[in-house]
């Protein structure tokens, strides 16, 4: 009985760190997988050093053994049929994984330690927030009068916070940088628009207060369209070329 009880405790702790994967997450991961399948060999042909950055990396796995986004990125790079283009010793492929939560970060480290990587692959995990890491990167690059290496930045947060427009403005100025952003309209609409204390976060997200017009739109689909389109406009004003798509369960 004691062994069973301990096992139940361990499973409970594990459940606090990981969770079942949802259909839209699986679809999102398929998009990421196919995009990286094209991006890695293209960048590996052109550049000697390039970065994959996961701003909200999570624990690296889901209940049932499904891979999280950091593991998917590593497997795409390791198993790609054109891997010789970017596994050459003259190339350097850097994986930056950022996770703020301590338990999720430690689980991610455990998953990453299972890999045997080529000598030119470098993993840089950070136990911090996306904002904290990029503020440090910006400061360091500024001191060196340098620019960010060509990068793919995956921004998939738990809610519409943690990636303010000021950071995306800086990223827009970096050469050969692409991003995939999960813009979570549902949580934005349900929790942030209705809570005055969270409105400051929306201003940081959009870079200004253009989002406030949504407070006067009663039709849910029209409100969603406005919030998405105004966010796209904010990105395009910074120089991003935006290709939006909508995912539904």
pLDDT for res 20: 92
Q: Is residue 15 in a domain?
A: no
pLDDT for res 10: 40
pLDDT 10s digits, 208-244: 999 999 999 999 989 999 999 999 999 999 999 999 9
In 3D, which of 64, 12, 241 has the Cα closest to residue 4? 12
CB 94 within 8 A of CB 124: yes
Q: Is residue 154 in a domain?
A: yes
Q: Is residue 51 in a domain?
A: yes
Give the domain extent around 217. Answer: 186-241
Over 80: is that where the pLDDT of 249 sits?
Answer: no
Residue linked to tokens 């198993």: 79
Does 41 lie in the same domain as 72?
yes
pLDDT for res 124: 96
Q: Which residue, 182, 213, 233, sits at the end of a domain?
A: 182
Does 132 lie in the same domain as 27?
yes
Instruction: Please state, in angstroms and rounded to a whole number, the distance separating the CA atoms of residues 245 and 124.
Output: 30
pLDDT for res 187: 86
Q: Is residue 60 in a domain?
A: yes
pLDDT 10s digits, 150-162: 999 999 998 899 9
Laid out side by side, the sheet with 121-126 consists of 121-126, 92-98, 49-54, 151-155, 177-181
Does 84 lie in the same domain as 160?
yes
pLDDT for res 8: 39
Does 210 lie in the same domain as 90?
no
Does 149 lie in the same domain as 38?
yes
Q: Is residue 9 in a domain?
A: no
Over 90: is that where the pLDDT of 6 sits?
Answer: no
Does 170 lie in the same domain as 83?
yes
Does 135 lie in the same domain as 205?
no
CATH of the domain at 169: 3.40.50.150
Whole-angstrom CA distances from 120 to 78, 94, 114, 152 are 12, 8, 17, 18
Alpha helices, DSSP H, located in 48-101 = 69-79
Instruction: Please state, in angstroms and rounded to a whole number, the distance separating the CA atoms of residues 146 and 165.
Output: 21
The DSSP-derived string for 135-166 is: HHHHHHHHHHT--PPSEEEEE--SSS-S--HH
Q: Is residue 143 in a domain?
A: yes
CB 62 within 8 A of CB 21: yes
Largest separation between any pair of C-alpha atoms in the chain: 63
Residue linked to tokens 């850097």: 94
Q: Is residue 33 in a domain?
A: yes
With 0-12 / 13-18 / 19 or more C-beta atoms within 10 angstroms meaning exposed / middle / buried, residue 168 is: buried
Instruction: Please state, in angstroms and rounded to a whole number, the distance separating the CA atoms of residues 166 and 168.
Output: 6
Domains in the chain, number: 2
Does 100 lie in the same domain as 223?
no
User: Which residues are within 8 A (CB) of 95 and not within 5 positions of it... i.e. 6 or more apart?
Assistant: 51, 52, 54, 70, 73, 74, 121, 122, 123, 124
Does 27 lie in the same domain as 133?
yes
pLDDT for res 77: 97
Does 77 lie in the same domain as 153?
yes
- The stretch 136-154 carries a mean pLDDT of 92
Does 152 lie in the same domain as 65?
yes
Q: Which residue, 182, 201, 217, sits at the end of a domain?
A: 182
Residue linked to tokens 């800086």: 170
- The stretch 90-115 carries a mean pLDDT of 96
Q: Which residue, 133, 154, 182, sits at the end of a domain?
A: 182
Does 96 lie in the same domain as 55?
yes
pLDDT, the chain, mean: 91
Q: Is residue 1 in a domain?
A: no
Per cent of the chain over pLDDT 90 is: 78
């Amino acid at each position: 009985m004691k062994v069973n009880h301990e096992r139940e405790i361990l499973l409970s702790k594990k459940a606090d760190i990981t969770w079942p994967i949802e259909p839209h997450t699986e679809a999102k991961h398929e998009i990421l997988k196919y995009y990286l399948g094209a991006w890695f060999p293209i960048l590996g042909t052109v550049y000697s050093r390039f970065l994959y950055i996961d701003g909200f990396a999570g624990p690296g796995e889901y209940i049932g053994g499904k891979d999280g986004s950091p593991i998917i990125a590593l497997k795409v790079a390791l198993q790609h049929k054109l891997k010789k283009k970017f596994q050459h010793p003259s190339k350097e492929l850097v994986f930056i994984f950022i996770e703020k939560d301590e338990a999720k970060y430690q689980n991610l480290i455990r998953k990453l330690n299972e890999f045997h990587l080529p000598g030119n692959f470098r993993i840089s995990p950070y136990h911090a927030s996306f904002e904290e890491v990029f503020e440090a990167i910006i400061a360091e690059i500024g001191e060196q009068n340098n620019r960010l290496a060509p990068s793919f930045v995956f921004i998939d947060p738990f809610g519409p916070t943690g990636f303010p427009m000021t950071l995306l403005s800086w990223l827009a100025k970096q050469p050969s940088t692409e991003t995939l952003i999960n813009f979570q309209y549902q949580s934005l609409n349900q929790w942030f628009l209705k809570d005055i204390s969270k409105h400051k976060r929306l201003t940081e997200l959009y870079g200004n207060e253009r989002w406030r017009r949504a407070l006067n739109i009663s039709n849910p689909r029209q409100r969603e369209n406005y919030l998405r389109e105004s966010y796209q406009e904010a990105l395009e004003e910074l120089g991003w070329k935006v290709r939006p798509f909508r995912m539904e369960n």
